[in-house]
Chains A and B, each alone.
Chain A
Amino acid sequence: MARTESKLEFDTDWKYSPAPESTDHIRIDPQYELFIGGKFVAPRERQYFDTINPAREKTLARVARADRGDVDRAVAAARRAYERAWSKLEPAERGKYLYRIARMLQERSREFAAIESLDGGKPIRESRDVDVPLAAAHFFYYAGWADKLEYAFPGRRAAPLGVAGQIIPWNFPLLMAAWKIAPALACGNTVVLKPAETTPLTALKLAELMRDVDLPPGVVNIVTGAGDTGAAIVEHPDVDKIAFTGSTEVGRLIQRRLAGTGKHFTLELGGKAANVIFADAAIDQAVEGIVNGIFFNQGHVCCAGSRLLVQESVADEVIAKLKERMETLIVGDPLDKNTDIGAINSAAQLEKIEQYLRIGQAEGGEMYQSSCSLPETGYWCRPTLFSGVSQSNRVVQEEIFGPVLSMQTFRTFQEALDKANNTPYGLSGGVWTDKGAKIFKMTRGIRAGVIWANTFNKFDPSAPFGGYKESGMGREGGLHGLGAYVELY
């Protein structure tokens, strides 16, 4: 349809009043120690660092920094717990601990959601409606596998690996902890987990929860710290398996470090997913899928649909509708229940994003940003769209990890497929069309581990997730997610 000069005005007289999530029921301690052997213990060198609220730039708590010696203690505790307690339990009883964790997480869901938003910057609506329920669901799902492994691997007997070292990122702190801990424990392993340095709090609250459900001491150990703490875990000789989610850059380092050690490992790394809109798509829902794919969680999503590929005959319509939709996105206080896009996780990440905005413009791209207002303090980025860019642009090739979308057109099916695959990454992809046959042809052709057809960013504990190529290896979730945590005989 031709578009006239009719413009819609979304900044209406009727505005939404602030709707802040109450925080008087949550507890954040001023200082947190390491969680080793079922207790909170001080780090040996008494080193601490601050974790801040990226929306207010205010310190929330001081958190312990684990050094090599602390990691050693944690691994020893995990090993003891594995040999003396966890591997001695009947599998069904192990499962019951996981059920308890799931249920208690459901009971404490509001507190966890509020703390997740405070510590990481994501909107309370997301943490409340997505992160925390999914985390509980992961524990619930894997609880059920504990005594059923004989059915998961035809012809093979599954045995635990021992101690798993797990390093998780800052974009879905609690959810990533659940993705790692639940299958590890279900398969009979014990865990040493390091949350990201900018988002340690929900992992520490999870540690409290582990203690409150009477999980045998040492089965789960949480060691906070930065890159060197992570390195200590990776390099520890008594860790049998490493699970890492984070950047491809660090993933390469880890893979190199593990070479020749015989350790099992899985990596879930970066992505630059293509979101492909065909002319016969349900256009309004496709626009919503674009928005969901790149703007929610501030674009801090490894599987974000950060490259829009739209069929040329509907490109103008899609872009016009997209811009209109971007105007209704509310960027603001993560604790306000109406916020759609929260704070960028850290000053460092904001700087990285802004660098790409500069690069994109320098490369000749046309940058469009919504006209929303931004709060005074904190780290913020408006939803951004780059058009007039192509495969050879850096903003199209490189992962930005922010609310920044690049847009290209295509004419034919094959062209869309070629462009979608023309990347070293391979984590996810999206395809929008009303034609079923085309969906299946596209999913067969895209070289990525997760493909969303007529939807985007959908997760379920029963659905395997993971990447092709440099987006990593191994799968998390579902029956397939068990394989990473067992030895098969």
Chain B
Amino acid sequence: MSVVASSLPPQLPVLDRVTRVDEVGVEERVARFCSRSIKKESKVRALKLALSMIDLTTLEGQDTRGKVTQLCQKAIHLHDAMPGLPHVAAVCVYPTMVGVARQALHGHDIKVASVATAFPSGMAPLSVKLEDTRVAVQEGADEVDMVISRGEFLQGEYSRVFDEIIAIKEACGRAQLKVILETGELGTLDRVRRASILAMHAGADFIKTSTGKIQPAATLPVTLVMLQAIRDYYHATGRRVGMKPAGGISKAKQAIQYLVMLRETLGEGWLTPEWFRFGASSLVNDLLMQLEKQRTGVYQSADYFSKD
């Protein structure tokens, strides 16, 4: 659900006043999060919370009706042998597959998210990106994941990047907008911080790390910087913005580290799929295997968990 913070048109923030970020300091803070010991009930709880936050994703040129349908089946039936599992938050596909996903998920409380705006590169005229967005929304997407124009950002054309987000947000209508910063291309944490602030002021409902199509994708340091930006924005405006790390999170252990970081940076308000998502696919089965291990005390094999 997108919430408009105020009735004033969005204003490009003064990016030079955004705080600097020290990379070594960030990595040290991240290391402390990683040395938290999450065991027993708190581990089971974290595993289930992580499952409920997943945007189950397939974004490949070779996606077909069959592939997307099967992915949706997995989303609905994560592991029927284990009762009491939450469902994933959403399925994430290309605009031309939104209809397939909607059909496959009919009757289930799982959202359909669509990438748009010439994902993943974003190298297309605004008109094309707007049309891409409209198609996704018309096909029934609940959420739209857009990419910012990294080239323009690196050129210092902040106004253009800003205006573009506003335009896409408008084209989204009632759909929620996630803004992908593609942090792996921004280079420095300073830029990640600025891009986060810019995107939020432009109306993003979520800020997202990556397309998952280049390395590095999501990392703990980049995510921390974005969470801190969300916190600063929240204190300044009262508006909550969600966060989604995507790509490169395939192990339950990593997912739990993200949750620890989320808990200790933003707290209770964000520990819900409404405000935090994981863009992932193979993470699901690792979470399930860890849950089963917690239940039985025995390490698991991938053979016992469906791979769609």
- Beyond the given pairs A14-B259, A17-B41, 16 more chain A to chain B contacts, judged by CB atoms under 8 angstroms and listed by A's residue number, are A4-B236, A5-B238, A15-B42, A16-B36, A19-B38, A281-B20, A282-B22, A284-B19, A284-B25, A285-B22, A288-B25, A288-B29, A337-B35, A337-B36, A338-B37, A454-B24
Q: Is the CB of A337 within 8 A of B37?
A: yes
Contact, CB under 8 Å: A4 / B238 = yes
Return chain B residues, CB-CB under 8 Å to A337. Answer: 35-37
A19 to B42, CA, bound (A): 10
Contact of B36 among A4, A6, A288, A338 (CB under 8 A): A338
Report how far A337 CA is from B24 CA in the complex, Å: 24
- By a CB distance below 8 angstroms, the chain B residues around A18 are 39
Among the listed B41, B235, B264, which residue makes an inter-chain contact with A328, where contact means beta carbons less than 8 Å apart? Answer: B264
Q: Mark A1-26, 1 if CB is under 8 A from B, else 0.
A: 11111101111111111110000000
Question: Taking the complex as formed, is A283 at the interface, i.e. its CB lies under 8 A from any CB of chain B?
Answer: yes
Query: Does B106 count as interface, using CB distance less than 8 angstroms?
Result: no
Taking a contact as CB atoms closer than 8 A, the residue among A10, A281, A320, A455 that contacts B263 in the complex is: A10
A154 vs B47: C-alpha distance when bound (angstroms): 61
**In the complex, chain A residues whose CB is within 8 Å of the CB of B26:** 284-285
Query: Is A188 located at the chain interface by the 8 A CB criterion?
Result: no
User: Would B236 and A282 count as touching, CB distance under 8 A?
Assistant: no
Chain B 1-34 interface 0/1 with A at a Cβ cutoff of 8 Å (1 = within): 0000000000000000001111011101100000
Cβ–Cβ contact A125 & B35, under 8 A = yes
13 inter-chain pairs at a CB distance below 8 angstroms, sorted by A residue, are A1-B232, A1-B235, A6-B234, A8-B267, A9-B269, A10-B263, A10-B264, A16-B38, A16-B42, A19-B37, A289-B25, A320-B235, A455-B24
Q: Which of B37, B45, B235 contacts A3 (CB 8 A)?
A: B235
4 shortest A-B CB distances, which residue pairs? Answer: A285-B25, A19-B37, A337-B37, A282-B22
A282–B19 CA distance with the chains assembled, in angstroms? 6
With an 8 Å Cβ cutoff, the count of chain B residues facing the other chain is 37
| CB-defined contacts of B42 to chain A, threshold 8 Å | 14-17
Known: A1-B235, A14-B49. A282 touches B25 (CB 8 A): yes
The closest CB in chain B to the CB of A3 belongs to: B235
Q: Is the CB of A14 within 8 A of B24?
A: no
For chain A, residues 100 to 140, give those with C-beta under 8 angstroms from any C-beta of chain B.
125, 129
CA distance A18 to B234 in the complex (A): 32
Bound: A9/B267 CA distance, A? 5
CB within 8 Å of A: which residues of B? 19-22, 24-26, 28-29, 35-43, 45-46, 49, 228, 231-232, 234-238, 259, 263-264, 266-269, 271
Contact across chains for B238 and A6 when beta carbons are under 8 A apart:
yes
Q: Are A8 and B36 in contact (CB under 8 A)?
A: no
Distance (whole angstroms) from the CB of B202 to the closest CB of chain A: 17
What residues of chain B lie closer than 8 Å to A320, measured between beta carbons? 235
Distance between B47 CB and nearest chain A CB, rounded to angstroms: 11
Candidates B20, B263, B269; contact of A14 at CB < 8 Å: B263
B20 close to A280 (CB less than 8 A): yes
- Give the shortest distance, in Å, between A325 (CB) and chain B (any CB): 9
**Residue picked from B37, B42, B45, most chain A C-beta under 10 Å:** B37
Asked if B236 and A14 sit within 8 Å, CB to CB, the answer is no
Per the CB 8 Å criterion, the residue count for chain A at the interface is 36
B19 touches A283 (CB 8 A): yes
User: Which B residue sits closest to A339, measured CB to CB?
Assistant: B37
- B29 to chain A: closest residue by CB: A288
Question: Which residues of the other chain, A, contact B237 by a CB distance below 8 angstroms?
Answer: 4
Query: Is the Cβ of B20 less than 8 Å from the Cβ of A434?
Result: yes
Please, which residue of chain B has its CB at the minimum distance from the CB of A16? Answer: B42
> Are B28's CB and A17's CB within 8 A?
no
Nearest CB in chain A to that of B270: its residue? A8
Q: How far is the CB of B240 from chain A (nearest CB, A)?
A: 9
Residues of A near any B CB (own CB < 8 A): 1-6, 8-19, 125, 129, 280-286, 288-289, 320, 328, 337-338, 434, 454-455
Residue of B nearest to A9 (CB): B268
- Per the bound structure, the CA–CA distance linking A17 and B26 in Å amounts to 26
Contact among A1, A12, A17, A338 with B43 in the assembled complex (CB-CB below 8 Å): A17
**Which residues of A have CB within 8 Å of B39?**
17-19
B43's nearest neighbour on chain A, judged by CB, is A17
CA distance A427 to B260 in the complex (A): 35
Task: List the A side residues contacting B28 at CB < 8 Å.
Answer: 288
CA distance A337 to B42 in the complex (A): 14
B contact residues around A283 at 8 Å (CB): 19-20
B25 x A8 contact (CB < 8 A): no
User: In the assembled complex, which residues on chain B have CB atoms less than 8 Å from the CB atom of A14?
Assistant: 42, 45-46, 49, 259, 263, 271
Q: How far is A2 from B236 in the complex, measured between Cα atoms in Å?
A: 5
Task: Indicate whether A10 sits within 8 Å of B37 (C-beta atoms), given known contacts A284-B19, A288-B25, A289-B25.
Answer: no
Q: Shortest distance in angstroms between B44's beta carbon and chain A's nearest beta carbon? A: 9
Smallest CB–CB gap between B112 and chain A, Å?
28
CA distance A125 to B37 in the complex (A): 10
B69 to chain A, nearest CB (A): 34
In the complex, which residues of chain A have a beta carbon less than 8 angstroms from the beta carbon of B259? 14
- Residues of chain A with a CB closer than 8 A to B264's CB: 10, 328
- Which residues of chain A come closer than 8 Å to B29, judged between CB atoms? 285, 288
Chain A residues within an 8 Å CB radius of B24 = 454-455
Contact across chains for A282 and B36 when beta carbons are under 8 A apart: no
A365 to chain B, nearest CB (A): 26
Nearest CB in chain A: distance from B24 CB, A: 7
**Interchain CB contact (< 8 A) of A6 among B22, B40, B235:** B235
Q: Considering the complex, give the chain A residue whose CB is closest to the CB of B235.
A: A3
Kindly state the separation between the CA atoms of A283 and B40 in the bound complex, as whole angstroms: 36
With A16-B42, A338-B37: A454-B25 Cβ-Cβ less than 8 Å = yes
Pick the most buried of A4, A129, A285, A289: most chain B CB atoms within 10 A of its CB. Answer: A285
Docked CA distance A338–B128 (Å)? 50
Q: How far is the CA of A272 from the CA of B181 in the complex (A)?
A: 43
Q: Which residue of A is nearest B19, CB measured? A: A283
* A8 CA to B267 CA, complexed, in Å: 6
The smallest C-beta distance from A297 to any residue of chain B, in angstroms, reads 14
Residue of A nearest to B13 (CB): A1
Verify A4–B235 contact, CB threshold 8 A. Answer: yes
Bound-state CA distance A398–B235 (Å) is 36
> Could you say which of B19, B231, B234 has the most chain A C-beta atoms within 10 Å of its C-beta?
B19
Chain A residues lying within 8 Å of B20, measured Cβ to Cβ, are 280-283, 434
A3 to B232, CA, bound (A): 8
**Which residues on B sit within 8 Å (CB–CB) of A281?**
20
| Complex Cα gap A283–B225 (Å) | 12
Which residues of chain A are within 8 angstroms of B46 by Cβ–Cβ distance? 14
- A16–B36 Cα gap in the complex (Å)? 9
In the bound complex, do residue B235 and residue A282 qualify as a contact, i.e. CB atoms below 8 Å apart? no
Q: Which residues of A contact B43 (CB under 8 A)?
A: 17
Residues in chain B near residue A1, CB distance under 8 A: 232, 235-236
A2 CA to B22 CA, complexed, in Å: 23
For B45, the chain A residues whose CB sits under 8 A away are 14
Least distance between B189 CB and chain A CB atoms (Å): 9
Asked if A12 and B268 make an inter-chain contact with CB atoms under 8 angstroms apart, the answer reads yes
